[in-house]
């Protein structure tokens, strides 16, 4: 029986990542308040974002496990896809970064949207 994916899971995983990123920013800001010794304020300000980062990490890991739990590997289909779409007829070759539309060459960066 094929695994039925829940499309909401990927949204919730992304939400946890974005929320954890915001909490990490708050955590870094609280850490920046400490100049020489750990003042009480910075110490107390760090606990809530730290709990939030840990909570969102556990949530994202759990949802990712659920999302990927029913995946099956089909080696023949993988070989066929590589043969049809691989850079050199089945040999995936070296990994290359994605090319963004509008990216400028030779500038050391890209103008990704």
Per-residue pLDDT, averaged over 31-39, amounts to 69
**Are the CB atoms for 27 and 50 separated by under 8 Å?**
yes
**Are the CB atoms for 109 and 99 separated by under 8 Å?**
no
- The model's pTM is 0.54
pLDDT score, position 103:
59
Q: Please, which pLDDT band fits residue 39 given cuts at 50, 70 and 90? A: low
Specify whether the backbone of 106 is left (phi greater than 0), alpha (psi in -120 to 50) or beta. left
How do residues 69-78 score in pLDDT, each as one tens digit?
878 889 999 8
How do residues 57-95 score in pLDDT, each as one tens digit?
999 999 999 888 878 889 999 888 888 887 665 455 566
């Amino acid at each position: 029986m094929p695994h039925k994916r829940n499309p909401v899971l990927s949204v919730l995983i992304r939400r946890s990542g974005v929320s954890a990123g915001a909490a990490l920013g708050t955590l870094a800001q609280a850490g920046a308040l400490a100049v020489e010794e750990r003042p009480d304020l910075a110490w107390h300000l760090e606990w809530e974002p730290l709990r939030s980062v840990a909570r969102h990490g556990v949530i994202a890991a759990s949802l990712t496990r659920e999302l990927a739990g029913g995946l099956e590997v089909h080696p023949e289909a993988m070989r066929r896809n590589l043969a049809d779409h691989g850079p050199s007829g089945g040999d995936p070759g070296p990994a290359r970064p994605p090319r963004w539309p509008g990216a400028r060459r030779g500038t050391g960066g890209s103008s990704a949207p």
